[in-house]
Amino acid sequence: MGALAEQQMKPARVADRTAPWWQSAVLYQVYPRSFQDTDGDGIGDLPGLMRRLPHLVELGVDALWLSPIYPSPMADFGYDISDYTDIDPVFGTLADFDALLDAAHRHGIKVLLDLVPNHTSDRHPWFEESRASRNNPKRDWYIWRDPAPDGGPPNNWLSEFGGSAWAFDPATGQYYYHAFLDAQPDLNWRNPEVRAAIYDVMRFWLRRGVDGFRVDVIWHLIKDDQFRDNPSNPDWRPGRPPNESLVPIYTADRPEVHEVIAEMRRVVEEFEERVLIGEIYLPIERLVTYYGADLSGAHLPFNFALLNAPWHARRIAQLVDEYEAALPPGGWPNWVLGNHDRPRVASRVGRDQLRVAAMLLLTLRGTPTIYYGEEIGMADVAIPPDRVRDPFEKNVPGIGVGRDGCRTPMQWDSGAAAGFSTAEPWLPPGPDSGRENVTNQRGDPGSLLNLYRRLIAARRRHTALTRGSYEPMAASGDLLVYVRRHGRERVLVALNLGPEPVTVSLRGDAAEGRVLVSSLGDRDGEAVTGELYLRSHEGAVVGLDPAETHGEA
């Protein structure tokens, strides 16, 4: 079947009454500042997102996660919130948000918000009260400590964005803790009033119809109650981010955080069919504890293992095995290739491997998240020094921590600002936007964009790809092969991670089938018998013929 035929047949997702929607969904992260500007200020906005909804409908994604759109001084581009229950004027109004939510829902697309409960902006009225005096009723909403005997910070805790995590407040003679910028004071999650306030924020949006949250740095919420110094990290070397010189055992991943997450989960469950996703950068064995005891935690603790995995077949197969084995019973997996904090996949694995990466993301067992622009292969953009906006890069310059390069405007067409804006965009569009853009790729059946569409369509058609088990088959040299199985349906995925062509021999009851999706779009429908030849950097999704021995439904 040709590429276009595959796209046009878009059957409704097979209803699975027992499984929640987010298990078979494809999530799509939008960085709203960079998606589409409509008011000519060079910054993306909600009406822009509304205008580009057809792109997301055509792509076939099931849910959008929007990075923060709340009122913010934008010291950390919205991750410093000064009002949790409104929309920043740069993005639009609550009415714009309601209209977007409504339009998305009419297209069957869910909308998730970014919840940032770990810290507020220092301009949030809660912090303004808290810092007003030592006996202000909100003093204990944040983390205040006396200076050390020498007048310095209370302990050695470091900010993720460079320097001490403690900022001195001369007016009240104490330090406050900030895991990120000093303009982002951490809330005190040991205080029940803080918890109640954020749970009310969640209810505000859930009542409005929001389908769930991605919770920012959820593993940071609770800090050591004894404020012990973090130990030093013997593996740290100059040139690595300065905060990594300590092992953050007392500032993150504290045991009591799981109680808090379970409470958040209960708030989400006051409403039907909502999802709680947690941002967590931890090794797999720690990550999976965030499903919570008896799955009382996050529905999806984000799995970032692929963000820094070496791009080798055996290494990837190993980490999939490790992750699959570590999941608690009933814990649903998920996969991520990129986000607004990390180098883009195109820059990590190289353009040649983008199709293989897409195929991997969309055929592994679990919920995939696509980062905007990934579907057209956007790469990190080199940011000239005078255009740096990211506070992390400004505070810790020159060692490659800057995040502006992965946050550049979506490349819609070959126009001046890539179709993103009529003005100078807040960050420069990619130099390749004249060629690599949505308009060009839409018209090319063999494009990366159309591969994403074909893969997402194949997920809708083949339950094995969404609900099926994961069975590793081979990982040697540059070849990675696995099977997804659901009842009698079996789908084989074969990926060539290198430039040399390779022949996969298929044996026994996995010997015959038909190509469902080929990475270049020119082999869909091809019959497969006994072996599958893969060209340089090629991948194929093959529907295997039902085997007699697997007749049980």
Active site residues: 216, 270
| CA separation for the pair 404, 76 (Å, rounded) | 11
Residue whose CB is less far from ligand NOJ, 62 or 76: 76
> Min. distance of Cβ 118 from ligand NOJ in angstroms?
7
Site string for Mg ion, 17-46 (x = CB under 5 A): --------------------x-x-x-x-x-
Site for ligand NOJ in 324-353 (CB under 6 A): 340-341
Site string for ligand NOJ, 171-190 (x = CB under 6 A): ---------x----------
Q: Which of 184, 201, 197, 182 is nearest to 137 (CA)?
A: 197
216 is in the binding site of which of Mg ion, ligand NOJ, none (Cβ under 5 to 8 A by kind)? ligand NOJ
Site string for ligand NOJ, 265-284 (x = CB under 6 A): --------------x-----
Helix axes 192-208, 257-268, angle to 10 degrees: 30
**Residue 515 bridge partners (DSSP):** 542
217 is in the binding site of which of Mg ion, ligand NOJ, none (Cβ under 5 to 8 A by kind)? ligand NOJ
Residue whose CB is less far from ligand NOJ, 115 or 354: 115
Q: Which of 404, 399, 439, 390 is nearest to 419 (CA)?
A: 439
> Min. distance of Cβ 121 from Mg ion in angstroms?
21
Site for ligand NOJ in 484-503 (CB under 6 A): none
Residue whose CB is less far from ligand NOJ, 76 or 393: 76
Residue whose CB is less far from ligand NOJ, 380 or 478: 380
> Min. distance of Cβ 399 from ligand NOJ in angstroms?
17
SS3 labels along 479-540: EEEEEEEECCEEEEEEEECCCCCEEEECCHHHCEEEEEEECCCCCCCCEEECEEEECCCCEE
45 is in the binding site of which of ligand NOJ, Mg ion, none (Cβ under 5 to 8 A by kind)? Mg ion
Sequence-ordered list of residues with C-beta below 8 angstroms from that of 395, at least 6 positions apart, any chain? 161, 162, 163, 181
390 is in the binding site of which of Mg ion, ligand NOJ, none (Cβ under 5 to 8 A by kind)? none
> Min. distance of Cβ 126 from ligand NOJ in angstroms?
16
Q: For residues 286-302, b (16+ Cβ closer than 10 Å) or e, as one string?
A: ebbbbbbeeeebbbbbb
> Are the C-beta atoms of 63 and 110 separated by less than 8 Å?
yes
Q: Is 177 helix (H, G, I), strand (E, B) or coil?
A: strand
> Min. distance of Cβ 341 from ligand NOJ in angstroms?
5
Sequence-ordered list of residues with C-beta below 8 angstroms from that of 517, at least 6 positions apart, any chain? 6, 359, 451, 454, 455, 458, 524, 540, 541
Give the count of residues interacting with Mg ion (CB under 5 A). Answer: 5
Residue nearest to ligand NOJ (CB): 79
**Residue 193 bridge partners (DSSP):** none
Site string for Mg ion, 40-79 (x = CB under 5 A): -x-x-x----------------------------------
Q: Which of 303, 306, 316, 305 is nearest to 493 (CA)?
A: 316
Residue whose CB is less far from ligand NOJ, 65 or 311: 65
Residue whose CB is less far from Mg ion, 45 or 478: 45
Which residue reads 């067992």 in tokens?
365
Sequence-ordered list of residues with C-beta below 8 angstroms from that of 17, at least 6 positions apart, any chain? none
Q: How many CB atoms lie within 10 A of CB 155?
A: 20
180 is in the binding site of which of ligand NOJ, Mg ion, none (Cβ under 5 to 8 A by kind)? ligand NOJ
Give the count of residues interacting with ligand NOJ (CB under 6 A). Answer: 9
Asked if residue 354 binds ligand NOJ (CB under 6 A), the reply is: no
Q: In what order do the strands lie in the sheet containing 512-518?
A: 469-476, 479-486, 489-496, 539-544, 512-518, 527-529, 531-534, 502-505
Kindly list the residues in this chain that would bind Mg ion in the complex (CB under 5 A).
37, 39, 41, 43, 45
Kindly list the residues in this chain that would bind ligand NOJ in the complex (CB under 6 A).
76, 79, 116, 180, 216-217, 279, 340-341
